Amino acid sequence: MKKSKRIKDIDDSDKIEINLRHVNLFNTALDSVEILLNNFLAEIKNYKENPLELSKNLIATLDFLISAIAKIQKGQRLALNLDKDTPLQDTEPQINIIEGVDFKKI
């Protein structure tokens, strides 16, 4: 990855401060996602139907939360310089929703 000239001009102490701010923001984001996930889990526990019959909104919410956690973790690891040798490609798994499936025909 090629660094821009502007980034090269940033002082090392400034880079440390920027990374610290990033880590703090990622921690705040993770706290927010944790609140959403806990509320989601409480709602799921009260679900009376078959778990395979979950509405697509609930499944989409779970997919969103998983995606958010994966992105936050990736950002934290980059800010903490833990993934120096890892490519920056987005390789997170995705949940696909299939509507109108007749399970008797499968």
- What's the CA gap between 102 and 94, in Å, rounded? 22
Q: What is the mean pLDDT of residues 19-34?
A: 90
**Under DSSP, is residue 32 helix (H, G, I), strand (E, B) or coil?**
helix
Give per-residue pLDDT as tens, 71-102.
Answer: 999 888 888 888 776 665 555 555 655 566 55
**pLDDT, tens digit, 9 for 90 and up, residues 40-72:** 888 888 777 766 667 777 888 889 999 999 999
Domain count, the chain: 1
Within a domain: 9:
no
In-domain check, residue 101: no
Distance CA 49, CA 99 (A): 17
Higher pLDDT, 41 or 1: 41
Given this model, what pLDDT does residue 67 score?
92
What residue numbers bound the domain in which 71 lies?
14-89
Rounded Cα–Cα distance for residues 46 and 69 (Å): 24
Residue 94 inside a domain? The answer is: no
* DSSP per position, 19-61: HHHHHHHHHHHHHHHHHHHHHHHHHHHT--S-GGG--HHHHHH
